[in-house]
Amino acid sequence: MAAIELNAVRPGAPMRWLKAGANDLKRAPLVSISYGLVFVALGALLSAGLWWIGAAAWIPVALSSFALIAPLFAVGFYQISKHLDEGKAVSFSDIWLVSGEKISQVAFLGLLLIILLLGWARIAQFLYAYFASQDYTTLAEFSSWVLTHPAGLLMAVVGTIIGAGLALAAFAISAISFPMLIDREVDAATALIASVTAVRRYPLAMLTWAWLIAFWTIIGTAFFLVGLAVVFPWLGHASWRAYQDFCTSSGPSAAS
């Protein structure tokens, strides 16, 4: 397992990544947005299912969980950007053209994110059971309790802190690791270490990037999930540009 040499990144780089990601989206809008709509549909079905079974109060938790595993689903956007860089025509089938060896490495990192997701779901369940004095089944009842009752407000604060910690862990694991696995012949451990190292060495740029991802994801979700059909592809392509900014065109090196 060789270490990956990382380029120095300026604090203002995330804005450049967003601009480059928007350019990729403009170059392949149909494929990118169609892929994004798949996950919008899944989110809508999940929300409808929770509403149908009388568990609408869990919709915010379910939607917030998307941020933890979104980098895994964004692999398709990395594929699109890679094809654009190579001057190839992009089709919907290109999203799935990942070699068997790479799939296993992507799946390993994806499993780590899923473990974080399951942990967050369990923690949210515990917090709700601990702070709530009764069962708030509707979204209106739950929202009113969270926003007006002291116990609800405290639960929101504690949950936000814990959720932010898990989200930061997921971000550190996945910031550049998934694009790297798509672009290079490296193992999951090498890509993970490179991603964590990028966050550790350049915290200002990477925390700014994490904040921008969270901000635009919230904006996309606020528009009844439809906004995510554009925001998700945009951020996915921008994440590919972030990876490129950090990593040299050469392969793994001995530098750490």
Query: Is the model's pLDDT at 249 over the cut of 60?
Result: no
pLDDT band (50, 70, 90) for residue 100: low
For residues 99 and 76, give the distance between their C-alpha atoms in angstroms, rounded to a whole number: 13
Averaged pLDDT for residues 121-135: 87
Report the pLDDT value the prediction gives residue 226, as an integer from 0 to 100: 78
pLDDT band (50, 70, 90) for residue 248: low
Q: What is the pLDDT of residues 133-158, one digit of tens each?
A: 888 777 788 888 898 999 999 999 99
Report the pLDDT value the prediction gives residue 168, as an integer from 0 to 100: 93
Q: What is the pLDDT of residues 27-79, one digit of tens each?
A: 999 999 998 898 888 888 887 888 887 777 777 777 777 778 888 889 889 99
The partner residues of 247 in beta bridges, in order of sequence, read 6
Report the pLDDT value the prediction gives residue 82, as an integer from 0 to 100: 92
Q: Work out the mean pLDDT of the chain and round it to a whole number.
A: 86
Length of the chain: 256
250 vs 80: which has the higher pLDDT: 80
Report the pLDDT value the prediction gives residue 251, as an integer from 0 to 100: 39
121 vs 248: which has the higher pLDDT: 121
pTM (two decimals) = 0.85
Query: Is the model's pLDDT at 161 over the cut of 50?
Result: yes
Query: Is the model's pLDDT at 2 over the cut of 70?
Result: no
Contact 156, 132 (CB under 8 A): no
pLDDT band (50, 70, 90) for residue 96: low
Report the pLDDT value the prediction gives residue 252, as an integer from 0 to 100: 38
Report the pLDDT value the prediction gives residue 132, as an integer from 0 to 100: 86
Query: Is the model's pLDDT at 233 over the cut of 90?
Result: yes
